Amino acid sequence: MQKYQMYIGGEWVAPSSGTWFESFNPFTGEPWALIPRGNAADADHAVRTAHAAFTDGPWPQMTATQRGALLRKLGDLVAQNAQHLAETEVRDNGKLLAEMAGQLNYVPQWYYYFGGLADKVQGAVIPLDKKGYFNFTRYEPLGVVVAITPWNSPLMLTAWKLAPALAAGNTVVIKPSEFTSASALEFVKLVEQAGFPAGVVNVVTGYGKEAGMPLVEHPLTAKITFTGSDATGRLIAETAARGFKKVGLELGGKSPNIVFEDAVIEDAVNGAVSGIFAATGQTCIAGSRLLLQESIHDDFVEKLLTLAKTAKMGNPMSLETQVGPVTTQPQYQKILSYIDVAKNEGATLRMGGGPATRPECGKGWFVEPTIFTGVDNNMRIAQEEVFGPVLSIIPFKDEEDAVRIANDVRFGLGAGVWTRDVGRAIRMSERIKAGTVWVNTYRAVSFMSPFGGYKDSGVGRENGQSAIYEYLQMKSVWINTGVKTGNPFVMR
């Protein structure tokens, strides 16, 4: 079994607890790696080290252009090592190799884009209303950024946080999910190879409460950027508030994928399947509520069932596989329990509905792609995030009804709209309360396009030019160009 160390201050270190825990391969259900069990002492070591790297040494002396060059080099190294990183992720996480290969050829773009952006952050000269002063703004990094990531897309989500944070000049402590820590530890070798100074990027592994929370609570932590469940996000935000720390939160979703009668039906069927069964439904943007206009409902469901039944399950390392295992055993249990919830609530099971017992699934944690019709939007299966291959189909009458149902949920991460009517597409995109609306497509993301949540789906935006400002603070500088100092008791 592979035994990993943590990475702090440019060194590979053992956890101060002296203990490791097992990481499992979801396809075999067997442990394959040992992950250091970090605790508060390791968190303290990492944050102090990152803080020292932020205040002293080569990093704060570098120009933004030099930081950009390092980020671009890191992007190149990720591209060169894409296969190895992809295989690590597949082994640890159960993601499809087919998807990971694509993802890891795309991840370098985050390092290129934010590397390029690093030296394009500009303050402004403010045309003041007062004579005799020169006033300008400048942007400065925050300090130590703690990046806490979930298990569903570890390397991609690390890139979303790390690239802008480093481009802005911060130092970072990464805390990957305890279920999928290996890829971050493999990745950080490339950070070292790229030539980032020691302490600029650190990785602390371990459980959320033991290793994550002390990073959040640490007085030298300036910002926490988190992707994960809304329950943990709330706890992190509450804790961060006590120290007036900044937070960026990307939380869950219960995204509506809305198909109107005038849609190109074949495309919408594909979009519905990719919205919920790609990545085994384990994405925050899963289109887990399929809203179908009543006039096309029955016909659409038949087409959807026909396509969904062809999904090939099995070994995620095989390029043929379309639906892989669930990443963690607790998540596997959770999905199965939600299937029971839906059955008990009176939803009609049309496909799947339990563990996959196909021979190609072996002993892995597989759930059959599952489709329910007759779902009412008030049911728990329509309101709560399942994070698995479980689709709830909800009929609607007209545009008004679709908007009402789409927005009647506490989340607001993504939404899909399928229609050939451009006016309707624009009206829907205006009225849906979600951070991303896709029209005649689903699940598209780019390093260039802002991503984040309305309502309980989060705080702040990742990706796109504005993301770098989430890791900067603005300073206003006043220079007296010749005003006499007058009465000191009067505000100027």
Q: In DSSP terms, which residues pair with 417 in a beta bridge? A: 258, 439
Contact between 397 and 346 (Cβ < 8 Å): no
Binding status of residue 232 toward ligand ADP by CB under 6 A: yes
Report the residue number, 203 or 347, with the smaller CB distance to ligand ADP: 203
The pair of three-digit structure tokens given for residue 17, joined into one six-digit string = 């607890």
Binding status of residue 460 toward ligand ADP by CB under 6 A: no
Binding status of residue 178 toward ligand ADP by CB under 6 A: yes
**Residue labelled with tokens 């709330």:** 234
**Helix ranges (DSSP H) in 168-296:** 182-194, 213-217, 230-242, 265-277
Report the residue number, 240 or 304, with the smaller CB distance to ligand ADP: 240
The CA R_g of the chain, rounded to the nearest whole Å, is 24
Side by side, which strands form the sheet with 472-480? Answer: 125-126, 133-141, 472-480
Report the residue number, 228 or 314, with the smaller CB distance to ligand ADP: 228
Question: Which class for 315: exposed (0-12), middle (13-18), buried (19 or more C-beta within 10 A)?
Answer: buried
Report the residue number, 222 or 417, with the smaller CB distance to ligand ADP: 222
* Number of residues this chain uses to bind ligand ADP (CB under 6 A): 18
Q: Please give the helix or strand (H or E) that residue 336 lies within, else none.
A: helix 329-345
The pair of three-digit structure tokens given for residue 425, joined into one six-digit string = 């597409």
Binding status of residue 234 toward ligand ADP by CB under 6 A: no
CA–CA dist 289, 281 (Å, integer) = 12
Contact between 222 and 143 (Cβ < 8 Å): yes
Residue 146: CB minimum distance to ligand ADP, A: 9
Look up residue 243 and give its amino acid.
G
Residue 401: CB minimum distance to ligand ADP, A: 32
Binding status of residue 52 toward ligand ADP by CB under 6 A: no
Report the residue number, 236 or 390, with the smaller CB distance to ligand ADP: 236
**Residue labelled with tokens 């919920």:** 276
Binding status of residue 229 toward ligand ADP by CB under 6 A: yes
Query: Of these residues, 217, 250, 368, 462, which one is catalytic?
Result: 250
CB-CB neighbours of 30 under 10 Å: 12
- For the question of residue 284 being annotated catalytic, the response is yes
Residue 232: CB minimum distance to ligand ADP, A: 3
Binding status of residue 212 toward ligand ADP by CB under 6 A: yes
Binding status of residue 240 toward ligand ADP by CB under 6 A: no
Site for ligand ADP (CB under 6 A): which residue of 98, 213, 286, 375? 213
Contact between 324 and 96 (Cβ < 8 Å): yes
Query: Of these residues, 284, 361, 368, 385, which one is catalytic?
Result: 284
- For the question of residue 294 being annotated catalytic, the response is no
Q: What is the 3-state secondary structure (H, E, C) of 121-146?
A: CCCCEECCCCCCEEEEEEEEECCEEE
Site for ligand ADP (CB under 6 A): which residue of 64, 126, 235, 459? 235
* Residue 103 CA neighbour count, 13 Å, CB half: 22
Build a one-symbol-per-residue string for 103-142: x at contacts with ligand ADP by CB under 6 A, - elsewhere: ----------------------------------------
Site for ligand ADP in 139-158 (CB under 6 A): 148-151
Pick the stretch among 2-10, 103-111, 231-239, 264-272 that binds ligand ADP (CB under 6 A). Answer: 231-239
Binding status of residue 23 toward ligand ADP by CB under 6 A: no
Binding status of residue 208 toward ligand ADP by CB under 6 A: yes
Report the residue number, 228 or 256, with the smaller CB distance to ligand ADP: 228
Contacts of 138 (CB under 8 A, 6+ apart): 123, 474, 475, 477
Torsion of CA 199, 451, 82, 280, to 10 degrees: 120
Question: Which class for 94: exposed (0-12), middle (13-18), buried (19 or more C-beta within 10 A)?
Answer: buried
CA–CA dist 139, 88 (Å, integer) = 37
Site for ligand ADP in 325-344 (CB under 6 A): none
Residue 33: CB minimum distance to ligand ADP, A: 16
Report the residue number, 70 or 249, with the smaller CB distance to ligand ADP: 249
Report the residue number, 75 or 176, with the smaller CB distance to ligand ADP: 176
Binding status of residue 209 toward ligand ADP by CB under 6 A: yes
Contact between 199 and 46 (Cβ < 8 Å): no
Pick the stretch among 73-81, 232-240, 288-296, 349-357 that binds ligand ADP (CB under 6 A). Answer: 232-240
Contact between 273 and 303 (Cβ < 8 Å): no
CA proximity to 386, closest of 276, 291, 312, 274 = 276
Site for ligand ADP (CB under 6 A): which residue of 62, 236, 259, 437? 236
Residue 291: CB minimum distance to ligand ADP, A: 25
CA–CA dist 369, 375 (Å, integer) = 17
Build a one-symbol-per-residue string for 157-176: x at contacts with ligand ADP by CB under 6 A, - elsewhere: ------------------x-
Binding status of residue 177 toward ligand ADP by CB under 6 A: yes
Q: Which residue is nearest to ligand ADP (CB)?
A: 208
Give just the sign of the alpha carbon dihedral 184, 187, 193, 196.
negative
Catalytic positions, please?
250, 284
| Residues in contact with ligand ADP by the rule CB under 6 A | 148-151, 175, 177-178, 207-209, 212-213, 216, 228-229, 232, 235-236
